[in-house]
């Protein structure tokens, strides 16, 4: 019998790790994967926040697990994987979403080389490390999918005119690191294709963040300027990451690998 579209998107019985799983985008993806039926592992540095998010998912959907992890530390990542497999028996989906970027607000000439190194470590190296460490468990799955979170600024350069005096100017550290994630995605997709494990990336555009409303020029300059340059006329909202996360995690995208899906309201089309 041919699977229906509902069958293809169904994640019942799957196990999904979301690093950075309680942040603005991570929380959306954790919600979406749980709503589609998965057992979600909310993994990040602050255990209390992971625990709160996992408790919410467990109450509303399926059993979820909170794991404290430093995604740049090998032993910590190994513990994340072992705690997941001990609780749920395996891993089907890995979402590499956690990141740290440094150098915001600094002129290019004044960015410290250590900020450059730290950003590469917390964006590119952690994506490599989490993927490598989780791979043995993912290989045991019949539905293996790795989803790396990149950025539209890994594809195009920022328009520095939109930032005003907010000191939020996107630094070169961020875009270079996210471009590295996109290339790593392609490499790993090619490497694992013969095993049926799919690897794709999502490159989100700017999402409106209420936490920045008190930042100078955020609502007065940055948001309207950003929206003006976006064909759909708005920033990302509280649900825009949900559909693409479930699509790439599920059998709905079973013939798709090595792709970078730009989710930016059309920012990169012109």
pLDDT tens digits, 182-215: 999 999 999 999 999 999 999 999 999 999 999 9
Q: Residue 100: what pLDDT?
A: 86
Name the catalytic one among 153, 163, 174, 226: 174
How many C-beta atoms lie closer than 10 Å to residue 71's C-beta? 26
**Averaged over 43-50, what is the pLDDT?**
98
| Confidence label for 2 from pLDDT (cuts 50, 70 and 90) | confident
In tens, the pLDDT along 92-108 reads 999 999 988 898 888 89
For 249, the token pair is 């995690």
The alpha carbon of residue 111 and the mean position of all alpha carbons in its chain are separated, in whole angstroms, by 25
Among 201, 206, 187, CA closest to 260: 201
In this prediction, what percent of the chain has a pLDDT beyond 70? 100
Highest mean pLDDT among 165-179, 208-222, 243-257: 243-257
| Confidence label for 166 from pLDDT (cuts 50, 70 and 90) | confident
204 within 8 A of 189, measured Cβ to Cβ:
no
Domain spans of the chain, in order of start: 5-264
79 within 8 A of 131, measured Cβ to Cβ:
no
- Residues with Cβ < 8 Å from 63, sequence gap 6 or more? 39
In tens, the pLDDT along 56-65 reads 999 999 999 9
| Confidence label for 15 from pLDDT (cuts 50, 70 and 90) | very high
**Averaged over 232-258, what is the pLDDT?**
98
Integer Cα distance of 74 and 72 in angstroms: 7
This prediction has a pTM of 0.97
**Averaged over 170-188, what is the pLDDT?**
97
| φ and ψ at residue 58, rounded to 5 degrees | -65, -40
Query: Is residue 1 pLDDT above 80, yes or no?
Result: no
For the chain, the DSSP string reads -PPPHHHHH--TT-EEEEETTTSHHHHHHHHHHHHTTPEEEEEES-HHHHHHHHHHHHHHSS--EEEE--TT-HHHHHHHHHHHHHHHS--SEEEE-------TTS-GGG--HHHHHHHHIIIIIHHHHHHHHHHHHHHT-SS-EEEEE--GGGTS---GGGGTTSS-PPPHHHHHHHHHHHHHHHHHHHHHGGGT-EEEEEEE--B--GGGTTSTTIIIIIHHHHHHTSTTSS-B-TTTTHHHHHHHHSGGGTT--S-EEEESTTGGG-
Q: Residue 106: what pLDDT?
A: 87
Integer Cα distance of 159 and 221 in angstroms: 13
Of 35-49, 71-85, 211-225, give the lowest mean pLDDT range.
211-225
Q: Residue 147: what pLDDT?
A: 99
* 174 included as an active-site residue: yes
Q: Residue 50: what pLDDT?
A: 98
Instruction: For the domain made up of 5-264, give the CATH fold.
Output: Rossmann fold (3.40.50)
Of 33-37, 123-127, 216-220, give the lowest mean pLDDT range.
216-220
| Confidence label for 165 from pLDDT (cuts 50, 70 and 90) | confident
Q: Residue 169: what pLDDT?
A: 83
For 29, the token pair is 């993806």
| Confidence label for 52 from pLDDT (cuts 50, 70 and 90) | very high
Q: Residue 262: what pLDDT?
A: 98
């Amino acid at each position: 019998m041919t699977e229906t579209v509902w069958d293809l998107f169904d994640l019942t019985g799957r196990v999904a790790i979301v690093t950075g799983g309680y942040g603005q985008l991570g929380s959306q993806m954790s919600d979406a994967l749980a709503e589609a039926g998965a057992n979600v592992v909310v993994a990040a540095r602050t255990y209390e926040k992971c625990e709160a998010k996992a408790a919410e998912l467990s109450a509303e959907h399926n059993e979820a697990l909170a794991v404290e992890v430093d995604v740049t530390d090998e032993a910590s990542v190994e513990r994340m994987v072992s705690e997941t497999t001990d609780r749920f028996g395996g891993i089907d989906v890995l979402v590499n979403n956690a990141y740290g970027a440094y150098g915001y607000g600094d002129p290019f000439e004044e960015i410290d080389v250590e900020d450059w190194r730290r950003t590469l470590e917390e964006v590119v190296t952690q994506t490599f490390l989490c993927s490598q460490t989780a791979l043995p468990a993912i290989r045991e799955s019949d539905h293996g999918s790795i989803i790396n979170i990149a950025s539209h600024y890994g594809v195009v350069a920022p328009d520095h005119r939109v930032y005003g005096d907010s000191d939020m100017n996107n630094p070169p550290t961020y875009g270079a690191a996210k471009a590295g994630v996109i290339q790593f995605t392609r490499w790993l997709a090619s490497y694992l294709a013969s095993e049926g494990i799919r690897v794709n990336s999502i490159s989100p555009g700017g999402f409106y963040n209420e936490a920045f409303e008190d930042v100078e020029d955020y609502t007065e300059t940055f948001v309207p300027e950003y929206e003006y340059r976006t064909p759909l006329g708005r920033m990302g909202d509280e649900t825009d990451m949900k559909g693409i996360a479930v699509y790439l995690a599920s059998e709905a995208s079973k013939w798709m690998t090595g792709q970078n899906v730009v989710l930016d309201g059309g920012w990169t089309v012109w």
